Amino acid sequence: MVENKKIIAIIPARGGSKRIPHKNIINFQGKPLIAWTIEAALQSNLFEEVIVSTDDKKIAEIAEKHGAKVPFLREEYADDYSPVSLVTANVLEKLLPKKFDIVVQLMPNCPLRNTQDIKVALDNFISKKNNFQISCFSFGWMNPWWAYQLNDKYVPKPIFEDELRNRRSQDQPPLYCPTGAIWIADAQKLIESKNFYGEEYRFFPMSWQSALDIDNYDDLEMAQAVFLLQNQKSNYFEAKK
């Protein structure tokens, strides 16, 4: 409990992933992918409960093995089209007698988001008295100001106006992209709106490394590379002590 508020972590993890089959339980650096998110949530000591919402018995079994609760198997919103906000709101509705104050949605395909990331995001949410807060990261070397569309003949069409597109990169304002790593909401307001993009929602930046979403095999390779690099750096500085 933080500032007398009951806080719940909900991890949506359906079984029907297409681009990486069984994505939420594939091996990532020695553990099922979902285990990294469950452990980060549990080790934060911020939550009354850490719950996994899934329609898949195997995911449920693995989630419980790693310390999460799976109070029921999901029957609604297990398709390719339902917004994940509906999943989290649905869990809250089913747990209504417990009346949580704050809900933190943690997507299991963000294994590099850690306990400290969660604490910092939650501290900001509470201190700023936000109703809805969505994690984001700043674009780096993939500069969207220089984005183009290509037609079937590869003719480029710029997305942005010349005034911003033709500036030097250091003179262009930063652009941000949402990530599923840490979404936070007032629990009752999420139940009412069914959407984290509710009234007066706010973004909260985090590092692009922690923000990495694994949606396809390229993302998986990137996350693995970042994980190994972070561990090499950690081992190097530990050895220098």
Q: Read off the pLDDT of residues 194-203 as tens digits, 9 standing for 90 and up.
A: 999 999 999 9
Host H or E run for residue 104: strand 102-105
pLDDT of residue 191 exceeding 70:
yes
- The dihedral sign for the CA sequence 76, 79, 82, 87: positive
Split at pLDDT 50, 70, 90, the class of 45 is very high
> Mean of the pLDDT values across residues 63-89?
93
Q: Which residues of 191-222 are buried (b: 16+ CB within 10 A; e: fewer)?
A: bebebbebeebeebebebbbbbbbeeeebbee
What local confidence, expressed as pLDDT, does residue 233 receive?
Answer: 65
pLDDT of residue 129 exceeding 60:
yes
pLDDT above 70 coverage of the chain, percent: 96
Cα distance from N-terminal residue to C-terminal residue, the chain:
36
What local confidence, expressed as pLDDT, does residue 158 receive?
Answer: 93
Tell me the HSE value of 175 on the side-chain side, using a 13 A CA sphere: 16
What local confidence, expressed as pLDDT, does residue 240 receive?
Answer: 56
pTM: 0.92
DSSP 127-168: HTT-SEEEEEEE--SS-GGG-EEE-TT--EEESS-HHHHTS-
Quote the mean pLDDT of the chain.
Answer: 93
Host H or E run for residue 50: strand 49-53
> Mean of the pLDDT values across residues 152-174?
90
Q: Where in the chain is the domain with CATH 3.90.550.10?
A: 7-139+176-240
- Which CATH number fits the domain 7-139+176-240, given the four candidates 3.30.470.20, 3.40.50.300, 3.90.550.10, 3.30.460.10? 3.90.550.10
